[in-house]
Amino acid sequence: MHKKANLQKQIDILQEQTPNKLTFLGIKIKNHPLFEQEVDFFVTNEQRVYQDNSNNQLANLYGSLWVNKMIALVGRNATGKTTILKTVIGALSLLLQDKSISQTRLKDILIGINPISLEIYFYGSDKTIFKDEIIFKRNMDSDWYIESEKIYSKYATKRFSKKKLFEFDKNKDLIYDRNTIGDVALNILAEDDSIFRIVRKKRKYLVQTIVDALIFTNDVNVPIYNNKDVPTEILEYLDPTIEYLKIDNKQIDSHKNQAFYRLKFKGTDNEITDTNFATIERYLSSGTAKGVTLYGNIIATLKNGGIIFIDELENHFNHTIVRTFIEYFSNKRINRHNSTLIFTTHYSELLDDFERGDEIYIAKRDEKIHLQRYSSTKVRTELNKAEVFDSDYLGGTVPEYNSYLKLRKATEKVVSDGG
């Protein structure tokens, strides 16, 4: 009996020493001019979880609440995939990183003249579910500010169904209202700052690292890596002719760093050096540069249980490299801290690498953008996901055939006219 009491005491001490963690669950986008009236994007499981795959594709938070370690956003061009990523990144940066609206991706997606509402959901490891309800409004100077923000919380019990888990009593569950928190707090916060920092700091939550890799996978070819020496393994995987790539980041002054690149190929005695990447770029392919940067971002995410967002993961990579990066997040020996990969892709064949339908969101657009989770479709589970997508079985997943014919006819006309 005495031993059991000591053991329980040790467990209690360890639990006190372990910081509570805050995990992102999902977001609702309302009244956005580009979207349907409401668009939901959640990383929580929608389908039933079976014991044989629960340790690989999902992480358990408590009871029947799981989060997917990988989420793919697919859809044809101009269906809002990137806009959805920017909305989620922006909301998380605002709530978890103490950034103002103008410092986040929200500045790119807040458009129009009418108020836009976001509802962001989190799970605290102290068994608490949170909802932060924000209304953004545009002022006379066309700047966006937070008109209203209410934070709700409730204790997560196993009796909650999945639907009721995200339902809150507007009176009983309300813990903070921006309009009633007091002048002292409001004077400290700007009108485009979230009050969610009050929750985080009061409960001492450890938050997920948000890794925004959108710019590196689309616009920037310069290799960026946290350590001086880029691992030879990733270099050999991307380009086996490279012997080493070293990036020295020297601080010039308090506001500026200068990168110094050292590149050497196997079988040569010459080392290529320069502070200007334009010189190195003559020898290093765009895919290798992006691969080095993306690998560094993925490692940073995997080390601390963060969330990484990647737009068009296949950009400059072949299928094998893309699948390698995806596999890291489903490998429990690598993804030990339950990190999450959220990415967009045009490679429909990647969908067959996903065992679960609730890991896939399909973006479509007619007059408005809307999302559909693959698991909510009535497609038979034995059907090939890539073929379902490419055949336009669900509608709106491939360019319309009439558009294809019109384009071909216009192309024929331009070529035949010689101009």
Considering the domain architecture, whether residues 27 and 65 belong to the same structural domain is answered as yes
Q: How far apart are CA 293 and CA 214, in angstroms?
A: 11
Is-contact 219 290, C-beta < 8 A? no
What's the first-to-final CA gap in the chain, in angstroms?
92
pLDDT at 104 over 90: yes
> Quick one: average pLDDT of 315-331?
86
In a domain, residue 7? The reply is no
Which of the listed residues 277, 303, 329 is the one where a domain comes to its end? 303
Considering the domain architecture, whether residues 346 and 298 belong to the same structural domain is answered as no
pTM above threshold 0.75: yes
Which CATH number belongs to the domain containing residue 68 in this structure? 3.40.50
Domain that holds residue 271: 221-303
In a domain, residue 10? The reply is no
123-127, 356-360, 382-386: range with highest mean pLDDT = 123-127
Which of the listed residues 276, 303, 330 is the one where a domain comes to its end? 303
Considering the domain architecture, whether residues 114 and 179 belong to the same structural domain is answered as yes
pLDDT at 381 over 80: no
Residues whose CB is less than 8 angstroms from the CB of residue 4 and which lie 6 or more positions away in sequence, other chains included? none
Please, which contacts does 89-93 make with residues 24 or more away whose CB atoms are closer than 8 Å? 89/210, 89/212, 89/214, 89/309, 91/27, 91/118, 91/120, 91/134, 92/24, 92/120, 92/208, 92/210, 92/307, 93/210, 93/212
Considering the domain architecture, whether residues 116 and 187 belong to the same structural domain is answered as yes
Considering the domain architecture, whether residues 92 and 167 belong to the same structural domain is answered as yes
Which of the listed residues 273, 303, 333 is the one where a domain comes to its end? 303
Work out how many domains the chain is built from and give that number: 2
In this structure, of 75-79, 176-180, 294-298, 336-340, the range with the lowest mean pLDDT score is: 75-79
Considering the domain architecture, whether residues 233 and 255 belong to the same structural domain is answered as yes
Considering the domain architecture, whether residues 252 and 393 belong to the same structural domain is answered as no
In a domain, residue 339? The reply is yes
